[in-house]
Amino acid sequence: VNLDGGGSTTMLARTAGADAPALQNDPSDGKQRTVANALVFYSDAPAEQLADAQIEPELDGQTTVLKGLSRSMKGTGLGKNLEPIASSGTFSADGGVKLADSDESNARVTGETTGKGRVSYAVDGHTARQDLDVLGEPVGLWPSARSINLEDAQDSQTVSLTGFDSEGRRSLIETGDIEVDADEGLRVDTDSLGELVVSADSSTAGKGKDSRDDEPTSGNVKLTVGDVTTTIPVTVGTETTEVLDFSDTSAFTDGHDRATGSFTAGEPSPDGKPSIDLTYDFSTSSATRGYYLIPKEPVKLEGNTVAFEMMVRGDGTGAWPRLQVSTPDGTVTNIDGDHITFDGWQKVRFTVPEGLSQPLTLERIRMMETRSAEKYKGDISISDLQAISTPETDDPATSARHDPALLTTGTVADRPQNIAVMSDAQFVATDPDSEAVKGARRTLKEIREAKPDLLVINGDLVDEASPEDFELAKKIIDEEWDESIPYIYVPGNHEIMGGEIDNFEAAFGSPTGERTVGRTKIVTLNSSDGTLNGSDDSQLNMLEDALGEVAER
């Protein structure tokens, strides 16, 4: 039933056993719209006449359990209109699960034997059954947050815990199976069957005061399940430090790609801080453009940086500010801010992704434009770049569990199947003898000599997606590759560069497809524009069909 192609319709439904209707679709308002008009389908079947039974996990969708751990179940009777009826039923378990305890509507089972298990709920001649997969014993734990920063003593954060067995299969762990040990100043409470709440213990942390009046503190929360343990570093409060001195323009240089620009000393910001004016010209290319302010001495930051904040006098162009940083292992990445769609002074926040190796070193302030249709000249000012950090924690070393399927050193020569992957050469036809081209040729040669069963070129082989770029790509592959070894070229964002996929298709054919190599089915999809369903659901439908075929084998 198509009620509104524009997406403003709200669809509610009460599923079997539910007490009230719940939102089923994704309306354009983002929530249920309050309107007077509605089309309602309802059942006039007797609500109080028992017609069936229902059983399901207490935690929605959790139909797996690790060996030795618990899974809680709930049972109810259903009226003829599928509303829940308070019933006095009995539970039983067989297969790989054992009934630990139960009452007339709730039960807890434990995983006993790896494989299939079944829990049944019977009420007045009606029986419902729920299958559970019993995984192996937990060999490792994965908390939903690897670290926690509480802004102050009144802040809190929920965390859940997933365990995995020796084959890497995961299952959410119920809080009743978790032993908690928190350092002084921290408190952990049970929020629900699947979540814990970490907060500052006001009786010891700041004596109930707002920790913004105190120095930041830190500690650890230790979670133990059976014989395995994980530790979550927790900090309370943050520190703010100035990163760059914008009063001295001689401490900076600049750089650019497919653009030009310059910088000069600017007028003070509204709070009197020195600023630097950046002018840039993004009008001469439709490929990705950038203008960069570069401190001559990169700034190494102390502690664990959770975010940066910088005052920006915007020009409303929509340019994209990014901070280029490096990690201790030499990895270079970017921290993203919001696009500059505003005019006048405004604070821009750059949130550091969780898990990024620390401490960080700031290398560049980058102004970027990735939209091929947008060409313009811009003029902004930047001031008062601050790093927001948390104190270092005494994080006990946690040994990583090695999966023998993965190698960092050694050889895969004895493996029954070898699939090679390469990406990100990013060469352009205007420079056919560049280091990027030489690197692509060298990589193809090394892979060819290894004689894999398949090569996947996983996007961004070219840089600007011009017909000439793809002609050069074909030439390189023809000259360096062994045609007896199959390859797949999957497009990345540099295969369209904000445009259409037409140039790629003209040179290499369809951006999606299926291929079987030995017993491995490979499905390639086109995410070059940042999504799998930009114009329709055809790719997702293809993936669903392919997975369905594999499941039937």
Cis peptide before 391 (omega within 30 of 0): no
DSSP letters along 180-238, please?
A: EEE-TTEEEEEEETTEEEEEE-TTTSGGGS-GGGS--EEEEEEEEETTEEEEEEEEES-
**Phi and psi angles of residue 544, each rounded to the nearest 5 degrees, phi first:** -60, -45
Q: Are residues 233 and 291 in the same domain?
A: no
Residue 28 lies in a domain: yes
CA angle 194-198-200, nearest 5°?
160
Looking at 110, 135, 160, the residue that finishes a domain is: 135
Count Cα atoms within 13 angstroms, Cβ side, for 344: 1
Could you tell me the CATH number of the domain that includes residue 231?
2.60.40.10
In three-state secondary structure terms, 551 is helix
CA distance 381 to 158: 39
Residues 290 and 358 in one domain: yes
pLDDT for residue 144: 93
CB 230, CB 141: distance < 8 Å: yes
More confident residue, 29 or 451: 451
Number of helices (H) and strands (E) in the chain: give both, helices first: 4, 38
Residue 411: inside a domain, yes or no?
Answer: no
- Asked, for residue 402, whether it belongs to a domain, the answer is no
**Does residue 400 or residue 482 have the better pLDDT?**
482
Among the ranges given (5-19, 106-120, 134-148, 270-284), the one the predictor scored with the smallest mean pLDDT: 5-19
Indicate whether 233 and 252 sit together in one domain.
Answer: no
The confidence band for 162, taking pLDDT boundaries of 50, 70 and 90, is very high
pTM: 0.66
Amino acid identity of 432? P
Residue 156 and residue 152: Cα distance in Å, rounded?
Answer: 9
- Same structural domain for residues 222 and 245? no
**Do 247 and 311 reside in the same domain of the chain?**
yes
pLDDT of the residue at 12: 84
Q: pLDDT tens digits, residue range 277-290?
A: 999 999 998 888 99
Of 213, 237, 261, the one marking the end of a domain is: 237
Report the pLDDT value the prediction gives residue 11, as an integer from 0 to 100.
Answer: 82
| High-pLDDT (> 70) share of the chain, % | 93
| Amino acid in position 224 | T
Spatial separation of the C-alpha atoms in residues 416 and 29, rounded to whole Å: 52
Q: What is the pLDDT of residues 326-361, one digit of tens each?
A: 999 888 999 999 999 999 999 999 999 987 888 999
Question: Which tokens is 164 given?
Answer: 């995995």
Give the CATH number, domain containing residue 336.
2.60.120.260
C-alpha torsion sign, points 266, 269, 275, 278: negative
Predicted pLDDT of residue 8: 64
Whether 244 and 386 map to the same domain: the answer is yes
For residue 370, pLDDT over 70 is answered with yes
**pLDDT the model gives residue 238:** 87
280, part of any domain? yes
292 and 265 in a single domain? The answer is yes
Q: What is the pLDDT of residue 525?
A: 94
406 occurs within a structural domain: no
359: cis peptide before it, omega within 30°? yes
In a domain, 518, yes or no: yes
CB-facing half-sphere around the CA of 448: CA atoms within 13 A: 15
- 413, part of any domain: no
Domains: count for the chain: 5
What is the rounded CA–CA span in Å between residue 56 and residue 252? 62
* Whether residues 386 and 250 fall in one domain: yes
Q: Is residue 403 part of a domain?
A: no
Provide the domain limits for residue 196: 140-237
Query: Given this model, what pLDDT does residue 277 score?
Result: 98
pLDDT tens-digit readout, 418-466 = 999 999 999 999 999 999 999 999 999 999 999 999 999 999 999 989 9
Average pLDDT over every residue of 501-521: 93
Any residues with CB less than 8 A from the CB of 531 and at least 6 apart, and which? Answer: none
With beta carbons less than 8 A apart as the criterion, state whether 345 and 237 touch.
no
Q: Are 514 and 477 part of one and the same domain?
A: yes
Q: Report pLDDT for 474.
A: 97
Pair 355, 466 in one domain: no
Mean pLDDT of the chain: 90
Are residue 283 and residue 314 in the same domain, yes or no? yes
What are the distances in angstroms from CA 436 to CA 304, 431, 494?
A: 34, 9, 14
**Is the same domain home to 225 and 290?**
no
Last residue of a domain, one of 189, 219, 237: 237
